[in-house]
Amino acid sequence: MSREQQRILTIDEFLVSRDRLHRAVELIPEERLADTFTSKGKTISLLDFLGAMMQHDLHHRSQIEQVTAV
């Protein structure tokens, strides 16, 4: 597989994963967004976690846009 084919495959996989995550998040009842969980000693609400994931996703989206603009 060429480098260009690998790049396209990676972008496609990212977009498919992003779409799956988006659909799954839409199914979460609003009242559950205040639920908390603890990871590595830190307690965080589901809403805050999803917000952080969104920022992370936007970062990767920006990277993809930079790569595809070339």
Sorted by where each begins, the domain ranges of the chain are: 3-68
Asked if residue 15 has pLDDT above 90, the reply is no
Is it the case that residue 66 has pLDDT exceeding 90?
no
Compute the residue count for the chain. 70
Mean pLDDT, rounded, for 52-61: 87
The band of 24, judged by pLDDT with boundaries at 50, 70 and 90, is very high
Q: Which residues fall within 8 angstroms of residue 28, CB to CB, at 6 or more apart?
A: 46
